[in-house]
């Protein structure tokens, strides 16, 4: 199968873990071993990844610079290069007989997207509520709960077009394992004269991956995270994992915004085009593809 594999930022850096280079490389090495097993099983992979923890850290570092800090679109590109480099290196160590490419990917968004007025995408480290509110007041952040902690949130517009899709298809058709759309891609808008310009946002990588799967004609979108499945009634005594479900049976508003809801929405979008999406834990990737674990969403 041709599979778009979306690695969650929390699959690459475990929740609450210090954001050190050593921790990130260790987690990426773990992810690379899982992906190598899928390649060994005969699947063709296109790999995307999140950047929430990483781009938030870069934003903190940029804010400490006395001169004007770099905007989020530039930091998106920086985080994609940083993660893509380590991911490509560890994949190359695990798979010695394949070609790889890391591609910075521009993704067009609509400057009128209502997401710019209602930020929901969590980035950066987690804080307790008091610390989050203090930082929000000091730095002009918008914040929101993230499980039992709080994080900064930024605008997350819907992706409209993967601008490098033709290049990606060219590489994939020639057997190259491509790492692309890092952090959901670099958000750009088209100006009146047809030129492109970056815009302050972080695109959700699951929506970008769903769009990429459609543009590349993938058989499956595999969203790997740190939970084993989508749960109905999450956070309640009646919580239960979902196995194979019809897209029409899911209501995105039943799931938390900024965490599982985008994955469910991305899965529904793709399923409505006749393709399948699956969601589950990184370690279970082979079993998810086999249909025995995780949550599958189909039309």
CA 64, CA 25: separation in Å to the nearest integer? 25
CA distances, 55 to each of 114, 246, 256 (Å): 22, 34, 21
84, 183, 263, 280: the catalytic one is: 263
Residue in 10, 50, 182, 258 annotated catalytic: 10
Active-site residue, selected from the candidate residues 8, 56, 185, 205: 205
Candidate list 9, 124, 182, 185, residue with the active-site label: 9
CA distances from 91 to 85, 177, 179 (A): 10, 9, 10
Among this protein's residues, is 9 annotated catalytic? Answer: yes
CA distance 94 to 100: 12
What is the token pair recorded at 211? 């769009």
DSSP H or E run through 127: strand 121-127
| Cβ proximity of 105 and 162 under 8 Å | yes
Q: Which of 115, 7, 102 is nearest to 54 (CA)?
A: 7
| Options 8, 121, 124, 258, the catalytic residue | 121
Contact 223, 282 (CB under 8 A): no
Beta strand spans in 8-105 (E): 44-49, 100-103
| Phi–psi pair at 189, nearest 5 degrees | -125, 150
149 counts as catalytic: no
Q: Is 51 tagged catalytic?
A: no
- Catalogue the active-site residues: 9-10, 121, 205, 263
């Amino acid at each position: 199968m041709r599979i778009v594999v979306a690695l969650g930022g929390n699959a690459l850096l475990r929740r609450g873990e210090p954001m050190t280079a050593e921790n990130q490389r260790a987690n990426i090495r773990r992810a690379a071993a899982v992906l190598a097993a899928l390649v060994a099983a005969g699947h063709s992979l296109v790999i995307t990844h999140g950047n929430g923890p990483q781009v938030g850290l870069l934003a903190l570092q940029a804010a400490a610079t006395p001169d004007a800090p770099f905007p989020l679109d530039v930091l998106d590109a920086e985080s994609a290069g940083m993660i893509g480099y380590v991911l490509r290196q560890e994949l190359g160590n695990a798979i010695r007989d394949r070609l790889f490419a890391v591609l910075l990917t521009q993704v067009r968004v609509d400057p009128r997207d209502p997401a710019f007025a209602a930020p929901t995408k969590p980035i950066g480290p987690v804080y307790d509520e008091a610390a989050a509110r203090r930082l929000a007041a000091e730095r002009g952040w918008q914040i929101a709960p993230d499980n039992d902690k709080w994080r900064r949130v930024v605008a997350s517009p819907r992706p409209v077009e993967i601008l490098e899709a033709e290049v990606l298809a060219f590489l994939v058709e020639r057997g190259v394992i491509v790492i692309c759309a890092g952090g959901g891609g670099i958000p750009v808008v088209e100006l009146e004269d047809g030129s492109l310009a970056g815009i302050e946002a972080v695109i959700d990588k699951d929506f970008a991956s769903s769009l990429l799967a459609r543009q590349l004609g993938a058989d499956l979108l595999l969203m790997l995270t740190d939970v084993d499945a989508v749960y109905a009634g999450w956070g309640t005594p009646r919580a239960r994992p979902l196995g194979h479900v019809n897209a029409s049976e899911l209501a995105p508003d039943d799931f938390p915004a900024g965490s599982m809801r985008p994955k469910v929405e991305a899965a529904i979008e793709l399923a409505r085009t006749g393709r399948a999406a699956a969601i589950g834990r990184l370690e279970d990737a082979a079993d998810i593809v086999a249909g025995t674990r995780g949550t599958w969403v189909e039309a």
